[in-house]
Amino acid sequence: MKHDWWKEAVVYQIYPRSFMDSNGDGIGDIGGITEKLEYLQELGIDVIWLSPVYRSPNADNGYDISDYQAIMEEFGTMEDFDQMLKKAHSLGIKIMMDLAVNHTSDEHPWFLESRRSAGPDNPYRDYYIWRDGQKDGAVPNNWGSTFSGSAWTYDDNRGQYYLHLFAPKQPDLNWENPAVRREVYQMMNWWCEKGIDGFRMDVISLISKVPGLPDGEKGGSLYGDGGPFYTNGPRVHEYLREMNEQVFSRYPLITVGETPGAAVEDAVLYAGEDTHELNMIFQFEHMEGDPKQPGRYGKWDQKNMPLSDWKRLMSKWQTGLEGKGWNSLYLSNHDRPRSVSRFGDDRPEYRVLSAKMLATCLHMMKGTPYVYQGEELGMTNIAFDKLEDYRDVESLNAFEELTKVCGEAPETVLGYLKRMGRDNARTPMQWDSSPNAGFTAATPWIKVNPNYTEINAHQQRRDPDSVFQYYKKLIQLRHTMDVVVYGVYELLEPEDESLFVYTRTLENEKLLVICNFTDQKLPMPDSAASCIGPDTSLLISNYPQRQDDWLRPYEAAVYLSKK
| pLDDT per position as a tens digit, 520-551 | 999 999 999 999 988 999 999 999 998 878 99
194 pLDDT higher than 80: yes
- Choose the catalytic residue: 106, 258, 408, 423: 258
For residue 555, pLDDT beyond 90: yes
Label the pairing between strands 556-562 and 509-516.
antiparallel
Would strands 499-506 and 488-492 be described as parallel, antiparallel, or unpaired? antiparallel
Amino acid at 144: G
Q: pLDDT of 401-459, one tens digit each? A: 888 888 888 888 888 888 888 999 999 999 999 999 999 999 999 999 999 999 999 99
Reported residue count of the chain is 563
Mean pLDDT computed over every residue of the chain:
95
Higher pLDDT, 486 or 3: 486
Question: What does DSSP say about strands 522-523 and 499-506: parallel, antiparallel, or unpaired?
Answer: unpaired
202 is catalytic: yes
More confident residue, 549 or 477: 477
Residue 482 has pLDDT above 90, yes or no: yes
**1 band by pLDDT with thresholds 50, 70 and 90:** low
pLDDT above 90 (res 304): no
- Active site (annotated) includes residue 176: no
The partner residues of 128 in beta bridges, in order of sequence, read 173
Q: Is the pLDDT of residue 310 over 90?
A: yes
Q: Please check whether residue 145 is in contact with residue 165, taking contact to mean a CB–CB distance below 8 angstroms.
A: yes
Per-residue pLDDT at 55:
98
- Rounded Cα gap, residues 529 and 519, in angstroms: 21
Taking only the tens place, the pLDDT of each residue in 24-65 is 999 999 999 999 999 999 999 999 999 999 999 999 889 999
pLDDT band of residue 206 (cuts 50, 70, 90) is very high
Partner residues linked to 452 by β-bridges: none
Could you read off the pLDDT of 209-256 as tens digits, one per residue? 999 999 999 987 889 999 999 999 999 999 999 999 999 999 999 999
Give the least confident one: 188-197, 293-302, 393-402.
293-302
The one catalytic residue in 202, 301, 346, 555 is 202
Integer Cα distance of 378 and 468 in angstroms: 8
Of 317, 326, 256, 255, nearest in space to 287 by CA = 317
Structure confidence by residue, pLDDT tens digits, 501-514: 999 999 999 999 99
What percent of the chain has a predicted confidence (pLDDT) above 70? 100
d(CA 488, CA 503): 8
